């Protein structure tokens, strides 16, 4: 059965779940990161309508509850991983408030804007391909991020996006998960659970 990670109760609920796993001083640092992310993401929502912060907290839950990550910089980067890509926050803002290591991790999982002469799709493929050279902590962050995004893929309101996101995940993300036993197993179960999306469309990603 596919394990699904929930954060609908918000940070107070997730914080309670992390107590005992994450040191109190690090929870206090996460308080600051959550406050920062909530301020920047404001009233943004996910495609299915849930508050954006739920996705950020789900990534934290995956890292702590599934793979035992307690490195506070990785966890803060999980909370902040979309602020540069999806808000007006700059990477320098992240660096100023949370330090260089957190900023570097956020940078690794931030999709760049398309450059001149390159389509959005080409830029996205280049970003995903670059992740093959990501340092271990950044790779863990990306695997947890994508897990949150695809664990309820059937709730996405656009059928074609479900299909394209499934194909993209199989093509780019599953190979990245092979060196991480827990993620390798989870994504294998996920691939089977949503395999009907591959059958829905004959178009496959190619390199």
Q: Which residue has the tokens 């992310």?
A: 37
**Which residues touch 183 (CB under 8 Å, ≥6 apart)?**
67, 143, 147, 177
- Distance between CA atoms of 154 and 169, rounded to whole angstroms? 14
SS3 state of residue 117: coil
SS3 state of residue 87: coil
Asked about 35 being catalytic, the answer comes back as no
Asked about 86 being catalytic, the answer comes back as yes
- Give Rg (Cα) of the chain: 17
Contact of 59 with 14, CB cutoff 8 Å: no
Residue of 26, 86, 107, 168 marked active site: 86
Residue of 31, 35, 85, 121 marked active site: 85
Cα 81 to Cα 54, 60, 99: the distances in Å are: 13, 11, 14
Contact of 78 with 144, CB cutoff 8 Å: yes
Query: Active-site residue numbers?
Result: 85-86
């Amino acid at each position: 059965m596919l394990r699904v990670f929930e954060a609908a109760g918000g940070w107070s609920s997730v914080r309670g779940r992390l107590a005992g796993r994450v040191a109190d001083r690090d929870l206090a640092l996460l308080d600051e990161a959550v406050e920062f992310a909530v301020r920047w993401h404001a009233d943004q929502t996910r495609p299915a309508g849930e508050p954006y912060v739920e996705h950020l907290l789900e990534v934290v839950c995956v890292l702590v509850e599934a793979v035992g990550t307690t490195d506070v910089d990785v966890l803060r980067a999980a909370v902040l991983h979309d602020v540069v890509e999806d808000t007006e926050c700059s990477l320098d803002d992240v660096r100023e408030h949370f330090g260089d290591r957190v900023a570097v991790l956020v940078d690794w999982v931030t999709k760049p804007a398309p450059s001149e002469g390159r389509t959005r799709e080409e830029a996205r493929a280049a970003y995903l391909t670059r992740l093959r050279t990501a340092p271990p902590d950044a790779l863990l962050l990306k695997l947890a991020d994508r897990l949150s995004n695809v664990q309820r893929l059937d709730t996405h309101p656009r059928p074609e996006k479900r299909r394209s996101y499934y194909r993209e995940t199989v093509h780019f993300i599953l190979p990245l998960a092979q060196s991480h036993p827990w993620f390798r197993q989870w994504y294998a179960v996920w691939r089977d659970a949503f395999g009907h999306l591959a059958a829905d469309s004959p178009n496959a990603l190619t390199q």
